[in-house]
Amino acid sequence: MKRIAFDEFYRELYGERWTDLRDALLREPPTQRFDEGLLKPYFLDEASVTAARALSVQKGDQVLDLCAAPGGKTLVLATAMGPAGSLTANDRSSARRARLRRVIDEHLPGEVRERIQVTSHDASRWGLHERDRYDRVLVDVPCSSERHVLRSPEHLAKWTPARTRHLAIQAYAILAAGFAAARPGGTILYATCTISTAENDEVVRKLLRKQAGRVEVDHPRARLGEPTELGWILLPDRAGGLGPIYFSRVRKIGP
């Protein structure tokens, strides 16, 4: 019954496309060898590399990765910030943070690692203790992760439509914290691995509404994928099996 409800929910969003998209989500995703500036290669979905690069980290930037574990996107950001840059990689979960540290220690040279701080804060409350500091902020939030749900009978049995609504509320809290942490003129990249519009464009739309006059969308593009109203998405049925990855890039205006 849960599989039927799941299909009905996403068929309403994607119409006739849902059958092909669901079949693509059920297949094993391809991985990319990422080794630029690393001690050894790290393998991850090319869509994740695409999203991390969409933040457009420049040499010397002060960077915040709010939900950093397991660390693949963190490596992409770290290798882009140059010798004058710094990176704060945060994850609240101790187990995920331990994995994040291992990824950083095993893949990055010492001169890069010494400019990375790993923290354990609640990402949704970041703006309460550190505001207007970072040039670039990655907000890669926990999400519905339908590819994982479809491939896991245990998780599919627990799925309900309320899950995406709850995760959208949590995602907005983290995005708002990331917005507060960015300096005026700074860039925030909001990213998910969900196909739920409630957790994608609608979360960004809420930020635009709540921070009207203080934020603008800087529409990203990529080699693969397709535009949404407020961002970009790679869906596996039309991106060679990659994704799903959604991202939207916004710029903070004024104080």
* Residue 37 belongs to domain with CATH number: 3.40.50
Task: Give the tens place of pLDDT for each residue, 172-227.
Answer: 999 999 999 999 999 999 999 999 999 999 999 999 999 999 999 999 889 999 99
pLDDT cut 70: percent of the chain above it: 99
Q: Determine the structural domain holding residue 215 and report its residue range.
A: 2-61+138-252
Instruction: State the pLDDT at residue 128.
Output: 84
Degrees, nearest 5: CA angle 26-231-74 = 70
d(CA 130, CA 239): 38
Q: Is the bond preceding residue 70 a cis peptide, omega within 30 degrees? A: yes
* Torsion, Cα of 203, 205, 211, 217 (10° steps): 110
- Per-residue pLDDT, averaged over 230-255, amounts to 95
Partners of residue 34 on adjacent β-strands: 42
Catalytic residue among 193, 195, 204, 242: 193
Residue 254 has what pLDDT?
A: 75
pLDDT band at 3 (very low <50, low <70, confident <90, very high): confident
Q: How far apart are CA 159 and CA 152, in angstroms?
A: 11
| Cβ neighbours around 213 below 10 Å, total | 8
Residue 245 lies in a domain: yes
What average pLDDT score do residues 241-248 get? 97
CA atoms within 13 A on the CB side of 185: 3
- Residue 71 inside a domain? The answer is no
**Residue 126, in any domain of the structure:** no
Within a domain: residue 43?
yes
Report the candidate in 115, 53, 119, 108 with the shortest Cα–Cα distance to residue 86: 115
Whether 143 is a known active-site residue: answer: no
Strand (E) or helix (H) holding 136: strand 134-140
Report, as an integer, the average pLDDT of 125-152. 94
Residues 6+ apart with CB under 8 A from 157: 2
Which tokens sit at 187? 């860039």
Q: Do 126 and 2 touch, CB atoms closer than 8 A?
A: no
In Å, the largest CA–CA distance within the chain is: 55
Q: Do the beta carbons of residue 191 and residue 199 sit within 8 Å? A: no
Q: Peptide bond preceding 41: is omega within 30 degrees of 0, i.e. cis?
A: no
β-strand partners of 42 = 34
Q: How far apart are CA 87 and CA 230, in angstroms?
A: 27
Residues 6 or more apart whose CB falls under 8 angstroms from that of 75 comprise: 34, 38, 42, 103, 104, 107, 108
- pLDDT, tens only, 57-112: 999 999 999 999 999 999 999 999 999 999 999 999 999 999 999 999 999 999 99
What pLDDT score does 77 carry? Answer: 98
In a domain, 52, yes or no: yes
Report helix, strand or coil for 36.
coil
Is 2 a residue whose pLDDT tops 80?
no
The reply to whether 66 falls in a domain is no
pLDDT reading at 49 higher than 70: yes
Q: Would residue 72 count as lying in a domain?
A: no
In a domain, 130, yes or no: no
Count of structural domains, the chain? 1
pTM of the full predicted structure?
0.96
Instruction: Note if the bond before 161 is cis, omega within 30 degrees.
Output: no
Write the single-letter amino acid at 216: E
Sort 223 into a burial class: Cβ within 10 Å, 0-12 / 13-18 / 19+: exposed
For the stretch 34-44, pLDDT in tens is 999 999 999 99
